[in-house]
Amino acid sequence: MKRCLDIARKDLRSEFRTKQMLNSMLIFALLVIVIFSFAFGPYPENIDQLAPGILWVAFTFAGMLGLARSFASEKEQGCLDGLKLCPVDRSAIYMGKVMSNTVLMFIMEMITVPVFIVLFDYSISNPLELGCIIMLGTLGFVFVGTLLSALTVNVRAREILLPVILFPVIVPVIISAVLATGKILSGTNDIWAEIRILGAYGAIFFIVALLIFEYVIED
């Protein structure tokens, strides 16, 4: 666990110094929210049906920018080989990357959600439930995204390939998260079914990723 934290700390230290990924993710997410808010006008009739999808489009597409860079940055100067040469279990590399990607996603989401609430004129009566859904949805996205980011790291067109293989796999996460977010925004609190799906999806993919990561990053 300590080695995972060291890897995450190294990634975040490097990222906070350059802010390459964070700035891209943040600007992209805010642009999506702003563009959709202008496109649909101030008070569209079916905003309750559209808004959750808009929020998760912003999260997932912005997150994709970060995930694509997550392992690609390790390829520079052969750092991925340097990491693989360290006497730690390869799953520690996956865990460390999951931690740093999750922190970056949460920062992006914490700034995006208030802007979304203001622009779409929502008042959130149950912020804890919204936070819970965003957390579970983000973890499911990051667990799979980090694994597939490692899988595509040696591919020349990885920026194109990653979304193509990631989005079909995370359909259950996106559908459940959008449904649950829609219920929360409309004041309904019956989101247990979605929480169960998100929890099970995250747990299954996390375990699978830990088991197969060693083979995924082998040359």
Partner 1 sequence: MISINKLSKVFGDNIALRDVDLNIKKGEFITLLGPNGAGKTTLIKIMSTLMSATSGSVTIDGYDVKEEPIEVRKRIGVISHETYLYDDLTAYENLEFYGKMYEIGELDERISNVVSLAGLQHRLHDRVGTFSRGMKQRLSIARTLLHDPPILFLDEPYTGLDQHAAATFDEISSGFAEDKTTMMATHDISRGLEKCDRLLILSSGEIVFDAPKEKIRDEAHLRSIYVQHTSG
Q: Which is nearer to partner 1, 97 or 183 (CB)?
A: 97
Q: What is the closest distance, in whole angstroms, from the C-beta atom of residue 211 to partner 1 in the complex?
A: 16
Contact call for residues 51 and 120 (beta carbons, < 8 A)? yes
Instruction: Decide: helix, strand or coil at residue 170.
Output: coil
Q: Which residues are at the interface with partner 1 (CB under 8 A)?
A: 2-3, 6-7, 10, 13-14, 17-18, 76-79, 81-89, 218-219
Q: What is the closest distance, in whole angstroms, from the C-beta atom of residue 58 to partner 1 in the complex?
A: 27
Burial 109-136 (b: 16+ CB within 10 A, else e): beebbeebbebbebeeeeeebbbbbbbb
Q: What is the closest distance, in whole angstroms, from the C-beta atom of residue 55 to partner 1 in the complex?
A: 31
Query: For residue 164, which of 137, 178, 145, 140 has the smallest C-alpha distance?
Result: 145
Q: What is the closest distance, in whole angstroms, from the C-beta atom of residue 93 to partner 1 in the complex?
A: 10
CA distance 176 to 208: 20
Q: Which is nearer to partner 1, 84 or 124 (CB)?
A: 84
CA distance 218 to 212: 10
